[in-house]
Structures are given as C-alpha cells and as structure tokens.
Structure 1
Amino acid sequence: MNASSHPAPLTDAAIESLRARTPGVRTTVHFNHAGASLSSMDTLEAMRRQLWREAEMGPIEAGVAARDQAEQARILAAVLLNAQPAEIALTTGNSSGWGSTFAALGNWKAGDRILVARQEWGGNIAAMHIAAVRAGARIEAIPCDDSGMADPAALDAMIDERVRLISVTWLPANGGLINPAAAIGAVARRHGIPYFVDAAQAVGQLPIDVREVGCDVLTGVGRKALRGPRETGLLYIRQDFLPRLTPAWVDTHSAPLDDDGLPAMRTDAARFEPSERSYALRCGLANALREALDIGIDNVRARIDRNARALRALLADVPGVDVLDQGRERSGLVSFAVAGNAGSAVLRMLAEQGISISSNGPAYTPLDMRARGLADIARASVSYLTTDAEIDRLVEAIRRLAR
C-alpha cells in the first residue's frame, strides 16, 4: 500500500457503499466532520475486538497481543504523509502533539519572534503566550494577501535573526481558506527557521507530502477527516530536526534508563509518546488510516471539494445568508452567517431538526476573527460521505431560519 497509488474514483454507488458501513449516517445529518467525523463499522469493530481481548486476557497481556496491529497506525501514517515510521509519533490529539513539540524547543528570551498565520489555532497561541511571551518573545501575524491567506512574500520581508519559529495552521477552523503551506515552507527553509504546521483539518482531507511542505513538525488528529476515534493524533518530526527537541517530560518509554541508571532518550519521534497508551484506540486509528489510503486521498479531496462548492453556491443564493469563506483554494469547511442569528443560535436550531453543524467564536482563531470583525460564525463541514440530499436538507433548513 502506498499513498501514490490510484484507487478508482468515488462514484455515487461507492459513496452509498461507504455510507452503508457507517452507522452514524442513519441517525444524524452530519455537517460537523471538521469537529469529529463518523467512524465506519470496521473502525468501531477494531476497537471493540481489542477491548474484548483486554476483558478476556487482561489489559497488559492484550496490549502485547495487539502490539503489531496497533503499530500499523504508525506505518500507515508514514505512508499517508510520505514520511518514515521513525518520524511519526502517535499522540492523543493535535494539541498534545503540537504543544509537546513547541515546549521542547527550549528556552525563549526577550526579543525572540514567532511568526504565525493570522488564522492560527487559538490553542497554539495560548501555548506560545504561556511559554514564550512570558519570557519577552513576541507573536506576530504574517500579513494576508488579497484573498485572505498568509502571504509568503510578506513573510519573507519579515525575517530577521530574531525569528525563532514560523507556525501555520494550514486549514483554519473558522472557514474554508487553505493557507499556502508549501510556499511558506520554502521561505522557512531558505532562512533556516523551524517551521511548524498545524494540519488538524488537512490530514485525511488533502494529499500531504511533508517533504514538499518543507516542515520540521506537522500535527494531525484522528477524529476529523480520517474518521478515526477521538483521543488519537499524529505527530511528524523531521528526523534531522529531532535532536533539537528536548521533551518537557519523559518516562520509561521515551527515555528508558540504561545500565548506568541514566536516561537514554529515544532517537525516533516516539520520544514524544508516553508508556501509557490505549491499544483499542490505536487499533481503531490504524483501521481508519487504512480505509483512507484505500479510498485514496486524491479522491477524498475531489469529493469534499465538489460537496463544499455545491453547499457554498446554494447558501450564497439564500437571502439573509452571507458565506464568509476566504482564500483561492478552499477546504470542506463552509463558514456563513444568518442575518439576525448568532452562529451558536443557528447550531441549536438546526440540532433540533437533527442536523449537526458547529459554531466558532474568537477563541478558535482570535487573530483572524478580530481582524475581520467576526464575533460568532456558523460552520458546516462536509465529508466525502455527504450526499446531495443532505446538502439540500441543510440549505432548506437554513432558508427557513433566514426568513
């Protein structure tokens, strides 16, 4: 199996077959795939089998029995990202991976600069404030171009010897914009500056080649486009960059004691993994990764783009609805506002009709929301599983709200 293979395109019949193996589509009209998507029966069964094995054998013994199966998650993640398995750590989520590697960068000093895309995830900014800004470092937003995405040329003009990190959220949480991750990576490489990419929304939705992106660190999560279980995540660390990172804490897995009683730090990305892990979740993640690769990420991207375009076009024709997405290339996250209704109110009213969306406030993407004067938006995110009938039902419900 490899990410460069070319599975057959996703036809309507193929989508129906996938939906038949997805219990959630029978009970909800789901437009919150960017929050957490709907797992397949096979992913759920992989976790159930491991939990039952733990009940029968004991959790420790069952973990030993499932080790090879669970380790497939690392191998398949490496295929997905065009990385080496030794460059992949399996984490409990996007924030845990991003935060642990940021904390491992070392001490910050007054005058250090961190350059971020304006759409940076609020959790990343919080970590930067606590560890870096407290020491006198500064967070500065990369200017946007006329489409709203981070401008690589403007970034290049900002670089000086005080810049210690460039960080970009590839697909922001508050809309469909896609930042130019590879073009920004080229700037970072040219100047020799560490480059972190938050790919929480991108992993499983876009084809990703970490060599082309040019990042030192990339983080992802299982529960979104990959349709894996919650509390699973992927952390890529470029092998040559790993020696620059000292974890804030270690244990018997990440730094076992040698014969002299001294910690021997692992030389692979698993130095960022704890000894305690859920084998059931890893078995579920491995299955979700296998399904994504079997479907083909190019096919996933094409179908999501098709569904998102259709939804944006229909919403744009509804009086009283403003589609808020920016960027030249867009993702499956569709942000909008309904006149006279806060995004959180739209979420509640749609939930009463069995339709799931999300709403975002400034805490998610504070720099961008403030710059654009946005207080509260509604967000409908599609999957390759999304059907035209579901899109029509969502738009009709919003049309009634907007009257």
Structure 2
Amino acid sequence: MALDVARARADTPGIRNVVHFNNAGSALPPRQVTDAVIDHLRLESEIGGYEAAAAAADKVENAYDAIAALIGCRRDEVAIVENATRAWDMVFYALATSFERGDRILTSRAEYASNVIAFLQVAARTGVVVEPIDDDDTGQLSVEDLRRRLAAQDAGPVRLVAVTHVPTQGGLVNPAREIGRVTREHGVPFLLDACQSVGQMRIDVDDIGCDFLTATGRKFLRGPRGTGFAYIRRELIAGLEPPFLDLHAATWTATDEFRIRPDARRFENWESNVAGKIGLGVAADYARAWGMDAIEQRVNALAEALRLRLGDRRDIDVHDRGAHTCGIVTFTMDGVDPEAVQRRLNEHRVNTSVSTVTSARFDLEARGLPAVVRASAHYYNTEDEIERLIDALPRP
C-alpha cells in the first residue's frame, strides 16, 4: 500500500521552513507528537509537575505499550530513559560487571564512537579484549568471520557481541537477523544498537534474535529529543544489576537492604521527562499507524533516488556500503570540504549533517575518509526536495 505523502506532510509543519534531510540527526516531528509534549508541559504549568504526572499516568504507560508493539516485545521488557546512549550504557555496563581479563567483546567495524569508547574504558579496567569483526565484500559485517571468532575459544571466551545495526556514517544495514542466529547457536549475548534503524524499518526483536536493543526517540522515530529506550529480554533481566540504582529502580526494604524491581524499569531512574515519555509513545503509535513496511519502502526509494542523482555528478562520490542500504546517504565532493558542502546546503535551507572520522574511526579511517556529508531521507520528503538538494550543491 502506497504511503499518503500529502497527509504525512500536512502533519509536519517543519516542511514549510526547510528541506529536511537530517533525519538521522533529528527528524521533524509530526504535530501529534509536538502537541502531546506541549499539552503536558502546559498541564504541568497549570497544576504542578507531580500532579500532572499523576493525571497523565495512562499516557505515560501507553509509551511502554507503544514501544513494545513497535519492536515486538513485552511491555515489562522496555525501559525508557533520557537517550539512546544512556540506554546502551545502562545495559553494557551491567553486563561488564562479569567481564574478566582475556574475555572478548566482538563488535562491528561500523561501530559508533560512544560504544567503542565504552568498550575501551572497560578494557582498560578489566583486561577484556575488543575485536572488530571483519567486513565482507559488500562492506557489511561478515557473518562468516563472526562464526570463526566465536568458534576460536582458545583466544578467550566471547562474553558479548555488540553491533550497530545502521551506522551513523552511511546507509549500510548490518545483517542483524543472521548475527542473532549465530549468537543464539553459540549462547553469547547480543546487544544491538538500533539508534538509526528504529523508525525507518521494521524491527522485531524475536525475529532478529537480539537479547538487548537500544534506540532513540529523536531520529527516524520522529519523537522528542531527550528520549530513548532499551529492550532487555525478560529471561535476562533478573541476572543484570544496573550500574546505578535509585528508589525507582529499587525499593529500600530495610535499613540495610534493598530489592531491585523485577522488570526492565530497573534500568530507569525516578526523575524523567514525563512530557517526553508521552511524546515518545505518541511517536511510536504514529509510526505504526503508517505501517513500518510502507515507511521502509518509501524511505529506501527516496534514498536510492538521491544516490542516483548524486551519481550523475562526476565530482561526487557516494560512499554507502552493504548488501542492503537504507535512508542514510553519504557522499563527498572533489576539492570541497564536507562541512563547506553542509554550510552551502544550509544557506539554501536544505538540512544535512557531517559524519567525521572521530565518530566511526574503525570504518572511516580505514577507507581514508576524514568526513562525509550525510543526507538522510524520511517518508515525508519528496522527489522535488531531492532536486532542491542537488541544485543547491556547489558546482565545479
């Protein structure tokens, strides 16, 4: 079924101001999300923050149901936190308490800087070894190399496979389902960073086979900034103690005792952005109402059209890799710094961003790319907007 682009644009006030190809940074929210957030902030101003939270308890709880439905899990497996990085960190550092010298973490060469920095910090503390899995000929993670490394137990036990589904620096989609199949075969936990994939493609955690998944609200999901969430498989929750606790994550049961709550909300803390939570739930419901298959089809078609138009220019190189690509398109222009390209586009009210080597050193450094321009399409973009982007680019 074709997606109603006119209706999607009618729901998106920001299209009147800009051509927005920075959805991998922070998408334009639909008015339904903005209204939900503003309505709650207004309620807080009128009756008080605690009182407004109590009055909106059903809307807050809806966020858990909406996220669970979006990614195919149960509501007690969802924790809502401040952002995707905090969600990922809470899971990773809970797992890291059991790491020992000589243990191995396997990760992708497309991995995001924040994740790698956490790996390196824990490696310095514990002696765990961080191993990037090789890419295959298409540029995606090599499932065969993953199998080989998992089987090489003489090199040390693999305690975690942590992979970014869609990297910040390109349109690659790593083979998450195949990774999940292999990690299940070997009984190794699988943490999937889905920050760039949730909201632009169908995600089903049971189908993928990941044990943990983290994502943000502000990118392709079109939710509020300052929101993120984690999925933790129910069977693993009780065995994980978060790196810090408060009176929301645990109950003080006696003067010298406490009890951690049994669900995924043990990874949350008491103070939170209530309006943001409500808006996140609305964003998840809004995405599902369009249908994730329809969204993915539209996003991929726009991104491929943009790649083709960029490829028409001899002075432009497109850098997306992988057997499958998505809504993120990255490129460079001969003799023009990527930040200068971004500024030029911004002058024409076309929003893009720049990914630098410091965000993805395993990948971009190996390819000799200090930086790339990143244009990321969403379903409310149009073919005419693609032409506006192309027309705004510097000329040789």
Alignment TM-score > 0.5, same fold: yes
For 1:186 and 1:133, how far apart are their aligned partners in 2? 30
List runs of 5+ in structure 2 lacking aligned partners. none
1:279 and 2:267 are equivalent in the alignment: no
For 1:247 and 1:353, how far apart are their aligned partners in 2? 46
For 1:261 and 1:402, how far apart are their aligned partners in 2? 70
User: Per-residue displacement from partner, 1:163-215 (whole Å, max 9, x unpaired)?
Assistant: 11101100011110100011011111111111100000110111111011111
Q: Which amino acid is the alignment partner of residue 6 of structure 2? A: E
State percent identity of aligned pairs. Answer: 39
For 1:84 and 1:274, how far apart are their aligned partners in 2? 20
For 1:164 and 1:307, how far apart are their aligned partners in 2? 39
Which residue of 2 is the match for residue 239 of structure 1?
234
Partner of 1:48: helix, strand, or coil? helix
For 1:215 and 1:224, how far apart are their aligned partners in 2? 21
1:269 and 2:259 are equivalent in the alignment: no
- Aligned pairs for 1:114-193 (under 5 A) are 114-159=105-150, 160=153, 161-193=156-188
Moved more, 340-349 or 383-392: 340-349
Moved more, 326-335 or 131-140: 131-140
For 1:124 and 1:218, how far apart are their aligned partners in 2? 13
The answer to whether the Cα contact below 8 Å between 2:122 and 2:128 also exists between their aligned partners in 1 is no
For 1:257 and 1:132, how far apart are their aligned partners in 2? 33
The answer to whether the Cα contact below 8 Å between 1:147 and 1:328 also exists between their aligned partners in 2 is yes
1:346 and 2:346 are equivalent in the alignment: no
Which residue of 2 is the match for residue 224 of structure 1?
219
For 2:359 and 2:193, how far apart are their aligned partners in 1? 13
Partner of 2:67: helix, strand, or coil? helix
Quote the offset at 1:260 in angstroms.
6.1
For 1:134 and 1:367, how far apart are their aligned partners in 2? 22
Partner of 1:220: helix, strand, or coil? strand
Quote the offset at 1:58 in angstroms.
0.6
For 2:83 and 2:273, how far apart are their aligned partners in 1? 13
User: Per-residue displacement from partner, 1:134-173 (whole Å, max 9, x unpaired)?
Assistant: 3211111101110000011111101125211101100011
Q: Which amino acid is the alignment partner of residue 33 of structure 2? A: T
Q: 2:104 aligns with which of 109, 113, 116?
A: 113
Partner of 1:256: helix, strand, or coil? strand
The answer to whether the Cα contact below 8 Å between 1:338 and 1:402 also exists between their aligned partners in 2 is no
Quote the offset at 1:254 in angstroms.
0.4
Quote the offset at 1:389 in angstroms.
0.7
The answer to whether the Cα contact below 8 Å between 1:319 and 1:402 also exists between their aligned partners in 2 is no
Q: 2:68 aligns with which of 52, 57, 78?
A: 78
For 2:125 and 2:266, how far apart are their aligned partners in 1? 27
1:303 and 2:306 are equivalent in the alignment: no
The answer to whether the Cα contact below 8 Å between 1:255 and 1:271 also exists between their aligned partners in 2 is yes
1:33 and 2:23 are equivalent in the alignment: yes
Quote the offset at 1:364 in angstroms.
1.4
Q: Which amino acid is the alignment partner of residue 9 of structure 1? A: A
For 1:71 and 1:9, how far apart are their aligned partners in 2? 32
Which residue of 2 is the match for residue 9 of structure 1?
2
1:381 and 2:370 are equivalent in the alignment: no
Q: 2:355 aligns with which of 338, 355, 360?
A: 360
User: Per-residue displacement from partner, 1:234-286 (whole Å, max 9, x unpaired)?
Assistant: 20000111123111110111001125652111111000010001111111111
Partner of 1:240: helix, strand, or coil? helix
The answer to whether the Cα contact below 8 Å between 1:339 and 1:402 also exists between their aligned partners in 2 is no
CA spacing shift, 1:261–1:57, aligned 2, 3 Å: farther
For 1:107 and 1:339, how far apart are their aligned partners in 2? 48
Partner of 1:264: helix, strand, or coil? strand
Moved more, 241-250 or 211-220: 241-250
The answer to whether the Cα contact below 8 Å between 1:73 and 1:286 also exists between their aligned partners in 2 is yes
**Any runs of at least 4 consecutive aligned residues in structure 1 with deviations exceeding 4 A, and if so which?**
none
User: Per-residue displacement from partner, 1:85-142 (whole Å, max 9, x unpaired)?
Assistant: 0001111111000011111111432211111011011100111111233321111110
Which residue of 2 is the match for residue 67 of structure 1?
57
Q: Which amino acid is the alignment partner of residue 118 of structure 2? A: A
Which residue of 1 is the match for residue 8 of structure 2?
18
CA spacing shift, 1:308–1:294, aligned 2, 3 Å: same
For 1:92 and 1:168, how far apart are their aligned partners in 2? 21
Which residue of 1 is the match for residue 41 of structure 2?
51
List runs of 5+ in structure 1 lacking aligned partners. 1-7
For 1:78 and 1:98, how far apart are their aligned partners in 2? 17
For 1:15 and 1:331, how far apart are their aligned partners in 2? 18
User: Per-residue displacement from partner, 1:337-365 (whole Å, max 9, x unpaired)?
Assistant: 01111211111111111111010111211
Which residue of 2 is the match for residue 333 of structure 1?
328
For 1:54 and 1:322, how far apart are their aligned partners in 2? 50
For 1:241 and 1:280, how far apart are their aligned partners in 2? 30
Aligned length: 391
The answer to whether the Cα contact below 8 Å between 2:344 and 2:392 also exists between their aligned partners in 1 is no
- Aligned pairs for 1:186-225 (under 5 A) are 186-225=181-220
1:101 and 2:91 are equivalent in the alignment: yes
For 1:402 and 1:92, how far apart are their aligned partners in 2? 42
